[in-house]
A = this chain, B = another copy of it.
Amino acid sequence: MPFWKNDRVTPAQIIILGFFTLILAGTALLMLPFAVSGGERASFLDALFTATSATCVTGLVLHDTALYWSSFGQAVILLLIQIGGMGVVTMAVAISIFTGKKIGLRQRWIMQESISAPQVGGIVRQTRFILKTAFLIEAAGAVLLSLRFCPEFGFFKGLWYGLFHSVSAFCNAGFDLMGAGGSAFSSLTGYTGDFLVSCTVAALIVLGGLGFLTWHDFREHGPRLRSYRLQSRLILTTTFALITGGFLYLFLFEFRQPQWQDLSLGQRAAASLFQSVTPRTAGFNTVDLGRLSQPGQLMMILLMLIGGSPGSTAGGFKTTTLAVLLLSSYAVFRRRGSAQCFGRRIPDETLRSAAAILLLYLLLFLTGGVLISIIDGVPLMAALFETASAIGTVGLSLGITPGLSSPSRLILIILMYFGRVGGLTMIYAVTSGTPVPMTQFPQERVTVG
């Protein structure tokens, strides 16, 4: 009997093992001699870092993807992005569906945990829907991007670039092949004011980051937002608020500073929009982030830590976590009994999880940043930017990644893995997942704040 049919293995354990296996397979493939274009083989740690970054759809890179990896290597990376982005379990279920295998209740339960669905019903239909939607959107994105890339790079290379960047954007991976133009690690900085590329990529990022359940609500209810489940409405509201807030800050403060004088008003608007979308786990950039002011970098770090929405391709501590904490704070300030919004009450249990996740992410982010700063003697801000980027599976960087020592690389690998698998999944996998029966101790008040 394979281990995943063992009843004592929890969904959380299967999810983390699935990602782990995928990363190891990717590492092995990337260590093949013909995965690298120069002829020299990639070292184990380099291959592991790249496979983790691709599988966890992070996008932090040690080598420029287009210049270092061969076409085979790039294809491996794209495959890891696609499987990792959709979720290992979703892909496994997809294979079962296509091969006509029967899917038992247990698999459905694992699947539910994996896409953060609130109930088990219709999980197979949902998987079918998720896959169909994903491939449709990715295809549309590839066509739109090819309109720009085919004239620029030639027909076939243009198509390949369109596909690669569409998948990479939709899965919020942030890997790019733009180093081929000559300057390594340039990401999309060649398209600062290009509305076709900026808007297509931004749209792919946002759609991918909204999460499968939100698409499902959209299919069921169309524009009737009132019928959406609470989670989808929170996700849409928070996403909208964060993008708007980020845009306003960047447009009104950041890009008016002297170092950005070379941008026209239109470029400033496009750059503000793109850069407010991308730290929410996408990881592309159309401007050089090293030129950001310090408050601008802090803003980016915060957006990266928040990340995307649950049940999507995104990392970070998630939009719903932020929403629940804010709603609960508002309830406290109004002396209300519990958090509420859109005519629904949010259970206290959810707040407890949200607070725990926030603390856990802050702890890992700060500890990782301090360690990297001490180990490699890099400025603290750059190190914190790097760890926020890793745990939010964002992939933006102030440029220190390629120069980091092995211990620092390992820290980032762990943070990327943690960020993609998700804080609670990780902890439940370790703590065996069975709820501890609660001892009813007497209650005692404590004064806080």
Contacts and interface: CB of A to CB of B under 8 A. Distances in A.
A448 B379 contact: no
Interface in A349-404: 350-357, 359-360, 366, 370, 373-374, 379-381
Nearest to A443: B345
Contacts of A326: 359
A258 B356 CA distance: 38
Contact of A116 (B321, B380, B439, B447): B447
Contacts of A447: 116, 118, 231, 310-311, 320
A444 B380 contact: no
A179 interface: no
A339 to B, nearest CB: 8
Interface string A312-350: 000001101101111011011111111110011111101
Interface stretch (A96-104, A160-168, A422-430): A422-430
Contact of A340 (B320, B422, B439, B449): B439
Interface string A269-297: 00000000000000000000000011101
A101 B359 CA distance: 48
B318 A448 contact: yes
Interface in A425-449: 427-428, 431, 433-436, 438-449
A135 interface: no
Contacts of A333: 356, 427, 431
A380 B380 contact: no
A260 interface: no
A328 B346 contact: no
A374 B448 CA distance: 32
B294 A380 contact: yes
A444 B345 contact: yes
B350 A448 contact: yes
A298 interface: yes
Given A334-B436, A340-B439, A438-B338, A449 B353 contact: yes
Nearest to A380: B294
Nearest to A230: B444
Contact of A440 (B230, B345, B360, B380): B345
A80 interface: no
A226 to B, nearest CB: 14
Contacts of A321: 448-449
A350 B230 CA distance: 25
Interface in A54-102: none
A436 B320 contact: no
A207 interface: no
B334 A449 contact: no
B351 A352 contact: yes
A374 B449 contact: no
A156 interface: no
Contacts of A334: 431, 436
A446 B355 contact: no
A13 to B, nearest CB: 15
B298 A366 contact: yes
23 contacts: A116-B447, A230-B444, A298-B380, A318-B449, A320-B448, A321-B448, A321-B449, A324-B446, A325-B355, A326-B359, A335-B434, A335-B435, A337-B438, A340-B439, A348-B352, A351-B352, A353-B448, A354-B355, A355-B355, A357-B448, A357-B449, A380-B381, A423-B449
Given A310-B448, A346-B444, A355-B355, 8 more contacts: A317-B449, A329-B359, A332-B352, A335-B428, A335-B433, A335-B435, A350-B448, A357-B449
